Structure 1
Amino acid sequence: MVASRRIDVHQHLVPGAYREVMERHGATAAGWPTPAWDAQSAIAMTDRRSIATGVLSVSSPGTHFGDDTEARAVARSVNEYGAELVKDRPDRFGIFASLPLPDVDGALAEAAYALDELHADGVVLMSNVHGRYLGDKEFVPLWEELDARGAVVFVHPTGSALPMLDGLPGPVVDFPFDTTRTALHMTLNGVMSRYTRMRVILSHAGGFLPYAAWRFTLGAQFSPGATPEGVLAGLRRFYFDTALSASPSALPSLLAFAAPGHVLYGSDPPFAAEEHGKLFDSMLDGYDGYEPGQLDAINRGDAEVLFPRLGAA
């Protein structure tokens, strides 16, 4: 086991300027308090948790707060901030660039800048954009561009159009549902079958997708041209991170469903407190049902395939 060399695909950054924008708009991650964050504390946390490199991303609610011009500026700000962190410590950090959806033109421009100029490791998209899920036909130009580039896309959940349950912030119960919903929406609308060069990572083991994937094949009868076999194949094209999802009940389902090489280590700080993350780390390490080499692949090897520059980190 090579836990000391983990590559963590699910870490978040909260730059000061971004926090100020969130506070100005009264925004949160669907009711979850925005935690403190700084780069040095993040490195110290990863040292304590045997993580070599963390690929950073902005969490919910993303960078679009209602105005396209502002969203473009916010996305550019957080992307340049993250790129500087990677430039200073390429061994310790990677970055998924934020895109200002639903402004598709702005998203296309920022994707080109982030991938070509900032050398981002991929892009992050929220599971829905003001209620529009990622299989929406309006987002086709973005999928075409990301696919042409063979980009890595990290899908993170955000608040849904459904009202939150009283006393339960969205990340507790709604986020896994929203990830599942957008993954099925993408699949039934042909995103996963048409755009096969890009690689898409779903947060938190894909919500309950692995558990219910065969049930979701029933959706083929409502999607012209789809077949149950095609739906299942599309769902298995996703990659999955283990953030908050390596429990004795969830991990066997994930490993039974995911395609070989499609499970990646994730931890979710600073939104997931370190004590909670360590609990899931211990469950991941302690699971006794792995195939030979499978845990090493989850901790590092599978991510090295997606992010070759991290192979020597």
Structure 2
Amino acid sequence: MALLSTPRSAVQLASKGRPLKEHLFRVALLSSLAIALGFLAALIFYVVQEGWPRLDSMLWENQPSIRRPETSGIQSSILGTLWIIGLTILMALPTGILAAIYLEEYADKTKWYNRLIDLNISNLAAVPSIVYGILGLGIIARWMSFGFTIMTGAITISLLVLPIVIISAREAIKAVPPSIREGSLALGATEWQTIWRQVLPASVPGIATGSILALSRAIGEAAPFLMLGAATFIRFNPEGVWSSFSVLPLQIYGFITRPQAEYAVLAAAAIVILLGILLLMNSVAIWLRNRYQKRW
């Protein structure tokens, strides 16, 4: 009887111990989330408190100044950031989505060159941003003679986020059930009609979420622009893609390096603007995911 009851007693002990482990694991997860949110809240509270005296209309209406911090603003940096992000959207998103469609729907995964492309895309997503800055400086700015312009910065940042866009788009396309494709093809639709009218609409939430998160990373990058010679103080707004430019991360760096205490307050106010843009973009990504997500 003792031998027969041994397996049953082991099962009972395992079933009794499992809820405790699950409870401890849940507590660990919630604790990690609380710590992360706590640090984020502390950071936001600190920068808002430090930059509150300069969170006024002059901050985005005036140009930067190296002599008058009380009236200095960040208008040129805001517009430079918008120029860079706008051109990055135009260049990186269509290219990344089309590449994801080819790799996921058309490419023969048994071919060695398609596997090599997959490996390189995964490796490029982990390359430090400073390497892209060196690439932009050596090839785009100098060899292609684009100079230190908005176009150079936009191409460099597009190359930076392109692997992330491709990977997120591929995962979103892969999440569409095969039965959707099979049903569309069985009804007489071509492969492209199936992709355009069935697969892509169903994968929009994942593609949009991954793309916005990639752009959120790009908007906070400073290392590539340091390599590309972007200025920290520009007193004029960009007038085109061949203009000199500055971006918010570099403008914040320029304020921090000034000896006057007023510039530290101004840098904190600029950080609030940058954090606001990032949180807005991430909120849009979450809204798109929740709004258009389908349960299969």
TM-score (norm 2): 0.25
TM-score normalised per structure 1? 0.24
Larger proportion of helix: 2
Relative CO higher for 1 or 2, CA cutoff 8 Å, sep ≥ 6? 2
